[in-house]
Structure 1
């Protein structure tokens, strides 16, 4: 069916009959609401136009690739069905139940497509979309996460960061966690049981923070039980707080530089007897933060989050109050640069205190040899003096073995804390 309205919208319609072109939708040759027969063999032609919403038309246009041939003519080819399907799934990634068993090669393309559609930037879809990928592919999505000096990014994207349950390295240096941050509930859960390297320097952590950090490992034997490298530099930690770290049996290296701990023979004796560690003569390469970086499929996503979090609102040319004009953008930038310079100077003046696991395959240092030699000589002298006393104390020791062993002061304090 044709009408005069179609002529103005879609133009004229021509057909070829006996080698000549003829217009079939002219106003004089065709009635307003009637069909036009084009051929003598009872054949008719009808034009049907469908109207689609604007968003659906855009998706349909994306199903074709427009190119130019050698003669300069425009040509289009349909996209592969696989690409169309991946684009559709990426657009609805928050509604996907699971990707378990989906090939990794296809998952990379699907993740890239979802990233191009900004699905991980929108707060309503980012957490669910990253959770679908993290549950299926684990450390391939994100293996190492560096949030050094990015406290604002940690606060804004905490729900998304909690999705990554296969992290092996986490750098939270200078994130201002304190002792009661909300992120501690995630850091001490089973979701971070795979962590091997943890950097918590310059976070205002005290002994209470270390007690809370180690509580799941000490009581329930879960949490950060696989931790091997720990950075606690520039935190108000004392010798009492270091006693909570003895539950980390796999700990290999620790950094306690610029803390309230005094480096003396007592501290060295504590690390050697309780944690089988010795003082490192040279700074350890682990705590230079040169090798800590974000690795995984979501690396670009983290960079986009950082760039968006670093965006500052445009300066208002007409401040509302004098205080806003006084505490303006220039002063904020000046103070930030000044604080960074002071921080670099403090790091240069900081006394480095690194302890590492005692390697049994390497010979001990000279100080350790002299210490053991003196202890052996003292032991020989005390052996002869204690021989008469051993016979007298055997009966009392037998009586004590029958009675239950009383709790120490440290055990009582631990029980009161829970």
Structure 2
């Protein structure tokens, strides 16, 4: 049989489905009709038909609807679509499923464009929550695709080895995520005071980004108490986890948290920092799983060139690089987490009494001795958290160009 043809047996006779030729238009000569129609036979695709068997065991076929055929065509060429804004959600859902079935989102040259097309039109329905906890290879390989999800409300990047200067920082403080992102988990990433300063720089200087952030997890990072001042720019922050950091628990920490951020210490663990509720949700949930499965099946990276190996050995960096690549991601054991001291802070409800919950109003001098604060300061601190002052500095053109790089 011809590989390009489709044969169907019906009532004991074999028929070839693809032997269909367009009839010439009546009233035109053969020469004129050849210029107005296709001379080659109409090649039908197998996916345009539905094949079934009847009770007698004969193969039956029926053509798909014109809508399904058009849907398959658009899904296979979705990178050429200008916009889907205005199309119903039901159409977008079926089109996304068809593109996923055609493995469109596994193609590096097409996937970012296709995902941005759906995200611009359907926002949170494409992906509203993304969990990449301890999945740093997936973040590195699909960083361009992940940046297209600009309607995330919950993002978990715990243990993704971000460090102090990762390109995802620019996306976290972008204007597209400013009105959506509510919960952010960046614990276990080796984030120091300098990294937190860089992350919040656009928010502190330009007053843009992270406008709706309410829950922040920076646990298990080498952060000191001085880094807390960089979080004053988050206007709606009401839950904070600093467990496993260099911050020392005590009355001084309670006082700093209250005066800087208006947060008080929680005796019990907050449910917001429980990983059991974190999951990837949206149309692209299976797409993220396909990325991880496809990445695990990829062949190992090629060995480094001899010149690069020599350079790494010369600068003494080869051992360090190998240790970083072979190191296991940071995974917290539940038993160890239960034994360690949790440092969860939250903002008490407005109008609630703070008797017994606010920290002791004492300050410390350079010699380490307690010093009672003045009466004015005590009255001001017990009333409400201090208001955040607006920046009075004026930026010139050079400063604006520098800030735009973040």
TM value normalised by structure 1: 0.69
Distance 1:367 1:153, change over 3 A: closer
Count of residue pairs brought into register by the alignment? 324
Q: 2:263 aligns with which of 274, 277, 284?
A: 277
Q: 1:357 aligns with which of 347, 366, 391?
A: 347
Residue of structure 1 equivalent to 2:177:
192
Structure 1 residue matching 2:52: 3-state secondary structure:
strand
Residue range with higher mean Cα deviation, 64-73 or 222-231: 64-73
How far apart in 2 are the matches of 1:312 and 1:75? 40
Residue of structure 2 equivalent to 1:306:
292
Residue of structure 1 equivalent to 2:107:
122
1:107-166 CA distances to partner (integer Å, 9 max, x unpaired)?
111100000000001111111111110110111101010000011000000000011111
Per-residue deviation, 1:195: 0.8
Unaligned 5+ segments in structure 1 are: 1-9, 11-49, 316-331, 384-407
Distance 1:312 1:163, change over 3 A: closer
How far apart in 2 are the matches of 1:235 and 1:211? 13
Partners of 2:164 and 2:194 within 8 A in 1: yes
Residue of structure 1 equivalent to 2:212:
226
Distance 1:344 1:67, change over 3 A: same
Partners of 2:228 and 2:260 within 8 A in 1: no
Structure with the higher helix share, 1 or 2: 1
Residue of structure 2 equivalent to 1:63:
48
Residue of structure 1 equivalent to 2:140:
155
Residue 250 of structure 2 is aligned to residue 264 of structure 1: yes
Distance 1:222 1:379, change over 3 A: closer
RMSD between superposed Cα atoms in Å: 3.8
Per-residue deviation, 1:75: 2.3
After TM superposition, list the pairs within 5 Å mapping 1:296-375 onto structure 2. 296-311=282-297, 313=299, 346-366=336-356, 368=358
Q: 1:88 aligns with which of 57, 73, 80?
A: 73
Residue of structure 2 equivalent to 1:15:
none
After TM superposition, list the pairs within 5 Å mapping 1:223-262 onto structure 2. 223-262=209-248
Higher relative contact order (CA 8 A, sep 6+): 2
How far apart in 1 are the matches of 2:98 and 2:298? 28
How far apart in 2 are the matches of 1:119 and 1:127? 10
Residue range with higher mean Cα deviation, 85-94 or 178-187: 178-187
Residue of structure 2 equivalent to 1:217:
203
TM value normalised by structure 2: 0.71
Partners of 2:134 and 2:330 within 8 A in 1: no
After TM superposition, list the pairs within 5 Å mapping 1:172-187 onto structure 2. 172-187=157-172
Residue of structure 1 equivalent to 2:17:
none
Distance 1:378 1:188, change over 3 A: closer
Partners of 2:361 and 2:373 within 8 A in 1: no
